[in-house]
């Protein structure tokens, strides 16, 4: 087992490592496990400084720097990002990722700031790709690792009963971070095209599934000592031939990432303001309804936050057009396949 904790992240749950490791070994197909991630607030840093552990640490190393004091303007910039990420993480983890866990038993990529990996799978992954791509696997190593594990038929799981917090950038630095994540997603769709092509292999998959069920299912089931849910055959050759169930989510996410901002741009260029406002209005209403449903503890607080961060959400969507343009330029015109951070 290998546990990764970023330097700007902290574990809120005392049993975070224990729970992720425990779930990691519930099935041979599980390659990574992470908990619920929340943004690190200013009040959290103040509480950390008051903790007995930190006080003992500072008694031994009085010159150690725990956290730099920020000016009011920097705190405001961090607070805006934290509010946006708070809403985003709630939506993703309690709605999107939870749905993926129910339907596919896996999320696309683990949240890399606090995650436990099965060491053998990670070693095999780097042995395979590092000679080809070097240390910079894509613009985001976490996303690349998640895709690579999906490509082998492994699962990335999320546990909702343990929590960690991670420090978010100021609002002015958010575009760069978003570019790294968004471009890495597109790059990994190119690298692991067998996953994104899953919907186009569904007929072959269904035929193979029925044939395997008739010939081998009962025999294999009886041989297995551990009946693991979501079990699937391992290996990249399986992905290339039949795709993966998680590939449906990767395909739909890629389609949404590309076509929704493009559709908004087309409506703006055509000056179809009625259809533009109607589209945006419907999307906001649906998003707010989802927030009201999943935010069980503080529904109206998240409802207001959701409305306040709407301009940021749509700025991010339109910024995705830049990412799509840069990726298309690299792929089809510059013929650049060596993406680096």
CA atoms of 70 and 64, how far apart (whole Å): 17
CA atoms of 221 and 118, how far apart (whole Å): 25
Is the confidence at residue 142, as pLDDT, over 50? yes
Give the SS3 label for residue 308: helix
CA atoms of 154 and 244, how far apart (whole Å): 10
Question: CA angle 104-105-109, nearest 5°?
Answer: 90
Decide if 235 is inside a domain: no
| pLDDT of 216 | 47
For residue range 94-104, what is the model confidence (pLDDT) as tens digits? Answer: 999 999 999 99
| pLDDT of 1 | 87
| pLDDT of 330 | 82
Mind giving me the DSSP string for 129-190? HHHHH-S--SS-HHHHHHHHHHHTT-EEEEEEEEEEEEPPPPGGGHHHHHHHHHHHHHHHHH
For residue range 20-53, what is the model confidence (pLDDT) as tens digits? Answer: 999 999 989 999 999 999 998 878 777 777 777 7
For residue range 202-223, what is the model confidence (pLDDT) as tens digits? Answer: 776 666 665 554 554 555 555 5
Decide if 219 is inside a domain: no
Give the pairing of strands 155-166 and 9-11. antiparallel
Question: What is the domain count for the chain?
Answer: 1
Decide if 215 is inside a domain: no
The pair of three-digit structure tokens given for residue 127, joined into one six-digit string: 């042995």
| pLDDT of 206 | 67
Among 223, 182, 205, 200, smallest CA distance to 322 is for 182
Is the confidence at residue 228, as pLDDT, over 80? no
Decide if 35 is inside a domain: yes
313: exposed, middle or buried (Cβ count in 10 Å: 0-12, 13-18, 19+): middle
Decide if 193 is inside a domain: yes
Decide if 11 is inside a domain: yes
Decide if 262 is inside a domain: yes
Domain range spanning residue 179?
2-200+243-333
Question: CA angle 183-186-191, nearest 5°?
Answer: 120
Provide mean pLDDT across the span 150-162. 95
More confident residue, 56 or 77: 77
Decide if 133 is inside a domain: yes
Is the confidence at residue 170, as pLDDT, over 80? yes
DSSP state of 200: G
| pLDDT of 212 | 52
The pair of three-digit structure tokens given for residue 102, joined into one six-digit string: 């129910």
Among 142, 150, 154, 245, smallest CA distance to 185 is for 142
Provide mean pLDDT across the span 241-267. 92
Q: Say if CB 165 and CB 36 are below 8 A apart.
A: no
The pair of three-digit structure tokens given for residue 149, joined into one six-digit string: 């594990």
Name the average pLDDT for the chain.
87
Residue holding tokens 């749509």? 314
Q: Say if CB 21 and CB 3 are below 8 A apart.
A: yes
Confidence of residue 57 (pLDDT cuts 50, 70, 90): confident
């Amino acid at each position: 087992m290998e546990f990764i904790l970023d330097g700007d992240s902290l574990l809120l749950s005392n049993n975070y490592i224990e729970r992720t490791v425990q779930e990691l070994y519930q099935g041979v197909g599980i390659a990574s496990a992470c908990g619920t991630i929340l943004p690190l607030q200013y009040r959290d840093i103040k509480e950390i400084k008051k903790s007995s552990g930190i006080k003992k640490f500072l008694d031994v190393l009085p010159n150690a720097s725990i956290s730099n004091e920020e000016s009011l303007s920097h705190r405001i910039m961090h607070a805006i990002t934290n509010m946006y990420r708070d809403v985003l993480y709630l939506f993703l983890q309690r709605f999107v990722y939870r749905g993926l866990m129910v339907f596919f038993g896996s999320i696309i990529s683990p949240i890399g700031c606090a995650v436990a990996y099965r060491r053998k799978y990670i070693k095999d992954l780097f042995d395979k790709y590092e000679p080809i791509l070097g240390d910079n696997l894509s613009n985001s190593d976490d996303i690349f690792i998640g895709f690579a594990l999906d490509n082998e038929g492994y699962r990335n799981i999320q546990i909702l009963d343990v929590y960690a917090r991670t420090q978010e950038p100021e609002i002015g630095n958010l575009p760069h971070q978003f570019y790294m994540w968004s471009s890495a997603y597109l790059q990994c769709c190119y690298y692991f095209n067998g996953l994104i092509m899953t919907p186009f292999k569904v007929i072959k998959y269904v035929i193979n599934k029925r044939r395997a069920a008739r010939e081998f299912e009962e025999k294999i089931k009886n041989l297995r000592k551990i009946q693991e849910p979501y079990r699937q055959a391992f290996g990249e050759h399986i992905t290339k031939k039949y795709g993966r169930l998680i590939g449906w989510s990767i395909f739909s996410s890629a389609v949404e990432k590309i076509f929704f901002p493009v559709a908004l741009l087309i409506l703006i260029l055509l000056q179809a303001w009625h259809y533009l406002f109607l589209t945006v209005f419907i999307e906001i209403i649906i998003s707010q309804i989802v927030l009201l449903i999943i935010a069980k503890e503080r529904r109206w607080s998240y409802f207001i936050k959701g409305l306040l961060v709407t301009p940021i959400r749509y700025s991010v969507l339109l910024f995705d057009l830049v990412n799509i343009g840069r990726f298309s330029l690299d792929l089809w015109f510059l013929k650049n396949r060596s993406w680096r951070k």
